[in-house]
A = this chain, B = another copy of it.
Amino acid sequence: MKYNASKCGFKSYHVFFRNLANPIRTKIISALKEKQSSVTELAEKLKIEQSKLSHALAALKSCNIVDYKQKGKSRIYFLNKTTILPMLKIIDKHKCKYCKHK
């Protein structure tokens, strides 16, 4: 995937969704929902190698889904909760509605 360097990494809906259409990236989101973390912390918690995480985080950041603050050598990534939490809530509700039987 190629990421737009400009401030906003998407012009159309599908580019935003594409960013979320990946298991590693959604795992990162779930983790950051609980607690902001450095790449190393995410790597340990999720058992995902560093380079994969960096790639994934770059993608998420390109659409402003996450951001980070530098803290010493580490980058502490945090979730854009304003956008993402209500979004996940909608999906939970949707799932609930159509997957009652599971």
What is the interface of chain A, defined by CB distance below 8 A to chain B? 6-8, 10, 12-14, 16-23, 25-26, 29, 64, 80, 82-83, 86-88, 90-91, 93-95, 97-99, 101-102
Contact = CB atoms under 8 A, between A and B. Distances in A.
Listed from nearest, the 7 A-B pairs whose CB atoms lie closest are A8-B99, A18-B21, A17-B20, A21-B21, A14-B26, A17-B21, A83-B94
A17 B95 CA distance: 13
A27 B91 CA distance: 20
Interface centre among A13, A16, A26, A80 (most CB of B within 10 A): A13
Nearest to A91: B16
Given A26-B14, A83-B90, A95 B8 contact: yes
Contact of A14 (B20, B83, B102): B20
A65 B102 CA distance: 19
B94 A90 contact: no
A73 B95 CA distance: 31
